[in-house]
Amino acid sequence: MTASPRAAHLAQLNVATLLHPFDDPRMAPFVEMLDPVNAAADGAPGFVWRLVEDGAPDATGLRPAGEDVIVTLSVWETREALWDFAYRSGHLEMMRRRREWFERHVEAHLVLWWVPAGHLPTVGEALERLADLQAHGPSPRAFTFASSHTADEAARHVQAARPTLHRSP
């Protein structure tokens, strides 16, 4: 994990529902792109961490959201670093071709949120943020690129949500 002077990093979860079993020949082009795209992520400026299955180069074998759903969970130093990787690297080709391999989601399938620098989110935490986005829409707690919030906004949101302690006179 790379060190950062920032107090917060951006976490992201993406879920994708497979159109075909992972070992189906129609999935082969996607599978062939995984290693190069993951290597590009690992070497991208601002990359901090990504979820991988024990003993595997990626997380495609993990199915915490259902047997036909794969997840991508990662942490980045900034929103811009994640944006640059997602939309200005070889990853963009995967996104352009995603309808060949994945169902179109009616609900949100990508969620972003700020975490303290050094914190590695769990899959459970990530799925809870996605559920929050789906149920309540974007907020500083769970948002998308189109409805982005800053780390300061997220911190203020958390502070405002904490109950205040009232002392007896």
pLDDT of residue 72: 95
The structural domain count of the chain equals 1
Residue 169 lies in a domain: no
Residue 3 lies in a domain: no
Residue 130 lies in a domain: yes
pLDDT of residue 166: 52
Q: What is the pTM of this model?
A: 0.87
Which residues of the chain are modeled with pLDDT < 70?
A: 1-6, 162-169
Residue 118 lies in a domain: yes
Q: Decide: 34 and 22 in contact? Cβ < 8 Å.
A: no
Residue 168 lies in a domain: no
pLDDT of residue 51: 97
pLDDT of residue 105: 85
State the residue range of the domain holding 137.
8-161
For residues 79, 83, 84, 85, the Cα torsion angle rounded to the nearest 10 degrees is: 110
Say which CATH number the domain at 101 has: 3.30.70.100
